[in-house]
Amino acid sequence: MSKHVLLTGAAGFVGHHIVELLLRKTDWCITVLDRLDFSGNLNRLQDILSDFPADEKKRVNILFHDLKAEINPLLSSFINNPDIILHVAAGSHVDRSISHPLEFVYDNVVGTANILEYARALHADKKLETFLYFSTDEVFGPAPNGIAYSERARYNSTNPYSATKAGGEELCVAYRNTYNMPIMITHTMNVFGERQSPEKFIPSTIRKVNEGQSVTIHSDRTKTKAGSRFYIHAKDVADALYFLITTKPATEPDVGGANCPKFNIVGKEEIDNLQLAQLIAASQNKELIFEMVDFHSSRPGHDLRYALDGSLMKSLGWEPQIAFSARIKEVSDWYLNNPKWLGL
């Protein structure tokens, strides 16, 4: 029998890629929940749905809701008993979390509590197969050179965004421990791809290179070492989530008895932002114009290097299949062929 998925934040950047993958790989019904704020854009869903025939589009049911409010009985009847909940919705703008931290407490902690309460009722009625909470590498804080954090590393949040994502994680762990709910948690970092907000580093660099503008590269205080990340394409993230919810791999409790499964979804290659900008310029056959800027002074609350250990997912049989340089070329070409998504 076909499954039914509830996906929160489906009009967001990562969320709409998940919808596209589920439409292509499954016959599942997909209920999407979004409040359509700055991050949510129905045009993303319209863009991907235009590639599918009418009978496939009917599998997607779009609902408006802000998770700062509970899921009431009427909305619950519209959702209609999903088997799987993918909780991807979140406030994720680090700069705004620094200036408006309480917004992120409401979105990422209270919002997570509300969707967990809805899931708890489903679990009590034996209708819930899986609840997946989509978290971030930023809960672990900056990573020194040579260090990549495992799934159960300690938290070291350096801004309100990461702190509230860690708070949402701990609520999920508590609901797993208290109510024995089928919850798993993922961490991922620096996702890129088609239809990302044009203010983000990769699409903004694609635009600036194309227009011959200077690209700002955040670096250390000496302005000689650029910040680095393990970038990963949103299609790979969607594929990893699909792998997890279909295989449901077990993980061993740690020495303290922690048994909520956690999985790092990581790009294969670490690359610094100067190298990344150079790859984008090379993909357009253009010279890179850039300026190194001290990131501490220009972006307080941001970190120079993040790193996750992806060995667990690799041991389970999943890792990205397409090289990062090929993905960058693919994405750069796509944006230049779809300039409206660069705000042009």
Do 302 and 218 touch, CB atoms closer than 8 A?
yes
Same domain membership, residue 206 and residue 165: no
Q: How many Å separate Cα 223 from the centre of its chain?
A: 29
The count of domains in the chain is 2
From the candidates 138, 194, 272, 309, give the one annotated as an active-site residue: 138
> Among residues 133, 149, 161, 175, which one is catalytic?
161
Active site residue 138: yes
Q: Verify whether residue 70 is a known catalytic residue.
A: no
Domain contains 120: yes
User: d(Cα 79, Cα 124) in Å, to the nearest integer?
Assistant: 17
User: What pLDDT was estimated at residue 226?
Assistant: 87
Q: What is the reported pLDDT for 243?
A: 97
* Residues 205 and 118 placed together within one structural domain of the fold: no
Q: Tell me, yes or no, whether 222 lies in a domain.
A: yes
239 among known catalytic residues = no
Report the pLDDT value the prediction gives residue 296, as an integer from 0 to 100. 59
Domain that holds residue 205: 196-229+269-304+322-342
Q: What is the CATH number of the domain that holds 283?
A: 3.90.25.10
**C-alpha closest to that of 86 among 188, 159, 154:** 188
One digit per residue, the tens of pLDDT, for the chain of length 344 reads 689 999 999 999 999 999 999 999 999 999 999 998 767 788 999 999 999 999 999 999 999 999 999 999 999 999 999 999 999 999 988 889 999 999 999 999 999 999 999 999 999 999 999 999 999 999 999 999 899 999 999 999 999 999 999 999 999 999 999 999 999 999 999 999 999 999 999 999 999 999 999 999 988 888 888 888 999 999 999 999 999 999 998 777 776 778 899 999 999 889 999 999 999 999 999 999 999 988 655 555 556 888 999 999 999 999 999 999 999 999 999 999 999 999 87
CATH number, position 104: 3.40.50.720
What are the helix (H) ranges across 26-159?
Answer: 42-49, 54-57, 73-79, 94-99, 101-104, 111-124
Query: Is residue 70 located within the same domain as residue 157?
Result: yes
Q: Which of 107, 137, 194, 239 is catalytic?
A: 137
